[in-house]
C-alpha cells in the first residue's frame, strides 16, 4: 500500500472531529457540519466544517457528496465537487441543497455531510494554435453517441431513459 500524504489541518472549531476515512480503502474522508441546519425542499445552505487545511503544492481536495444522504434524503452539493485549492487556508465550507420535492432535511451539529477526496493535480501551460490535431471524436459531444434521455417533442437518441412526463403520457 502507498504511504498516505501528510496534510496539515487546523481546527477552526475546537470540538470538531477531524475528517476520517470510514474504511482503509476509502477515497473520501468524511466532513461534518459544525452548525445544525434545516433545509426546506429546494433550499440550500453554506455549512461550516470547522477545519482548514494546507495541501502540498500539486494537490487539490474535492468536496464530494455522500451517496447515502443523496439516496435517502435527496441532499446534493450545489457545486459538486467543490474544489479546495492548495493555497486555500480558510475554513472548508459545504454548499448543500435539498433536492427532495416534499420533505425537509435536518442536520445536527457534527453530522457527516460530505467527503473530502485529496488528489494530485497537473498544472498545464496553454499553447495557442490555429488548428487542433484531429481525433476520432472530433467535435461530437452532448449525446453524440446516443442513449440520452428524451425530452418533450423528441424521441431521444437510441434511448434508454425518458423523462417522467414522457412516461406518464404512454
Ligand atoms: O465547496 C467548496 C468550494 C470551495 N471552497 C473554498 C476553497 C477554494 O479554494 C475556494 C475557492 O473556490 P472556487 O475557486 O471554487 O470558487 P470561486 O467562486 O472561483 O472563488 P475564487 O474567486 O475565490 O477562486 O473556496 C470551499 O470551502 N468549499
Ligand atoms: Mg476560483
Whose cell is 487556508? That residue is 89
Instruction: Quote the CA–CA distance of 39 and 137 in Å, as a whole number.
Output: 42
For residue range 65-86, what is the model confidence (pLDDT) as tens digits?
Answer: 999 999 999 999 999 999 999 9
Instruction: Quote the CA–CA distance of 148 and 144 in Å, as a whole number.
Output: 9
ipTM of the complex, rounded to two decimals: 0.99
For residue range 50-69, what is the model confidence (pLDDT) as tens digits?
Answer: 999 999 999 999 999 999 99
**Which pLDDT does position 123 carry in this prediction?**
96
Instruction: Quote the CA–CA distance of 19 and 32 in Å, as a whole number.
Output: 8
Question: Which distant-in-sequence residues (6+ apart) come within 8 Å of 152 by Cβ?
Answer: 163, 165, 166
Spans of all domains in the chain: 8-120
The number of the ligand 1 atom at minimal distance from the alpha carbon of 63 is 1
Return the residue whose CA atom lies nearest to atom 20 of ligand 1: 83
Was domain 8-120 assigned CATH 2.70.40.10?
yes
With a cut of 50, say whether residue 170 has pLDDT above it: no
Asked if 60 and 80 count as a contact pair (C-beta separation under 8 A), the reply is no
Query: Residue 84, annotated ligand binder?
Result: yes
With a cut of 70, say whether residue 30 has pLDDT above it: yes
Amino acid at each position: 500500500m502507498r504511504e498516505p500524504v501528510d496534510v496539515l489541518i487546523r481546527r477552526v472549531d475546537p470540538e470538531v472531529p477531524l475528517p476520517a476515512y470510514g474504511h482503509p480503502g476509502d477515497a473520501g474522508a468524511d466532513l461534518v457540519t459544525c452548525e445544525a441546519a434545516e433545509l426546506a425542499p429546494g433550499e440550500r445552505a453554506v455549512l461550516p466544517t470547522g477545519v482548514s487545511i494546507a495541501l502540498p503544492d500539486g494537490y487539490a481536495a474535492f468536496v464530494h457528496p455522500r451517496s447515502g444522504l443523496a439516496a435517502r434524503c435527496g441532499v446534493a452539493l450545489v457545486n459538486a465537487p467543490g474544489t479546495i485549492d492548495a493555497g486555500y487556508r480558510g475554513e472548508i465550507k459545504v454548499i448543500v441543497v435539498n433536492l427532495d420535492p416534499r420533505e425537509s432535511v435536518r442536520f445536527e451539529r457534527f453530522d457527516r455531510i460530505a467527503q473530502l477526496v485529496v488528489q494530485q493535480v497537473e498544472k498545464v501551460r496553454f499553447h495557442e494554435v490555429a488548428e487542433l490535431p484531429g481525433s476520432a471524436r472530433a467535435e461530437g459531444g452532448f449525446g453524440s453517441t446516443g442513449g440520452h434521455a428524451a425530452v418533450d417533442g423528441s424521441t431521444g437518441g437510441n434511448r434508454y431513459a425518458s423523462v417522467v412526463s414522457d412516461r406518464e403520457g404512454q
